[in-house]
Amino acid sequence: MTHAIRIAPSILSADFAKLGEEVRAIDAAGCDWIHVDVMDGHFVPNITIGPAVVKALRPHTTKVFDVHLMISPVDLYLEAFAEAGADIITVHPEAGPHTHRTIQNIKALGKMAGVSLNPATPAKMLDYLIEDIDLVLVMSVNPGFGGQSFIESQLRKIEAIRKMIDKTGKDIRLEVDGGIDVNTAPRAIAAGADVLVAGSATFKGGPDHYASNIAALRG
């Protein structure tokens, strides 16, 4: 199933001193989802935000909160993110041994479940998960930081996962995250992605540019 392209700005590139205002600005600028990068300084070499911040941001928009958890362990924190207002909760199989259980836990909380693969993780990792999830997130950079360059080999992975998804006949989103800009966005879309995360490319130039930045990513 192919969907309209969705743009999910990563607030990692926003001004953290005024996050509420930034979320309202990207909402008004026409984004589809709000991508929230949660990092723990353990699974990835950076620390960002936790459930308290997600909760504080929730009243600022009605758009989908697409919460990308780069934390280990993860299960302990699912309920807090669900209660804080996450709509989609995406986890990394590289961060723990029980991804299937984690997916079940996310579903039990009434949320959409996503699985994210690091650049070195093969598409095959999804073989026994794909039927049970709502979203696949392909990392096109190594997770941890915004502003990195797109890793070309991930286009092949997106192509492979697009085939897997279509084979299921289910409504599963294929999202790409890292190094997405006006040059890489059309290539990721051509490979089969239907949700584009963009941090630097959305927030560059400040609020006056958000609408044109987002429009440019749609192609």
Q: Which residues are catalytic?
A: 37, 177
Distance CA 4, CA 98 (A): 32
Q: Is 37 in the site for Zn ion (CB under 5 A)?
A: yes
Q: Is 8 in the site for ligand DX5 (CB under 6 A)?
A: no
Residues in 55-74 at the binding interface with ligand DX5, rule: CB under 6 A:
68
| Residue 29 binding: pick among ligand DX5, Zn ion, none (C-beta 5-8 Å cut-off by kind) | none
CB of 68 to ligand DX5, least distance (A): 5
Cα distances (angstroms) measured from residue 119 to each of 46, 92, 194: 17, 12, 18
- Report the sign of the C-alpha dihedral through residues 92, 93, 98, 100, in that order: positive
Does 146 show up as a binding residue in the annotation? yes
- 3 state SS of 112: strand
Return the number of other C-beta atoms located less than 10 Å from residue 132's C-beta: 16
Residue choice 51, 93, 114, 143 for contact with ligand DX5 (CB under 6 A):
143
Residues in 82-111 at the binding interface with ligand DX5, rule: CB under 6 A:
none
Distance CA 131, CA 121 (A): 19
Contact track, Zn ion, 149-178, x by CB under 5 A:
----------------------------x-
Does 144 show up as a binding residue in the annotation? yes
DSSP string, 134-196: SEEEEESS-TT-SSPPP-TTHHHHHHHHHHHHHHHTS--EEEEESS--TTHHHHHHHHT--EE
Distance CA 55, CA 23 (A): 13
| Residue with smaller CB distance to ligand DX5, 144 or 166 | 144
Binding residues for a divalent metal cation: 35, 37, 68, 177
Question: Contact positions toward ligand DX5, by CB under 6 A?
Answer: 10, 12-13, 35, 37, 68, 141, 143-144, 146-148, 177-180, 197-201
Binding residues: 10, 35, 37, 68, 144-147, 177-179, 199-200
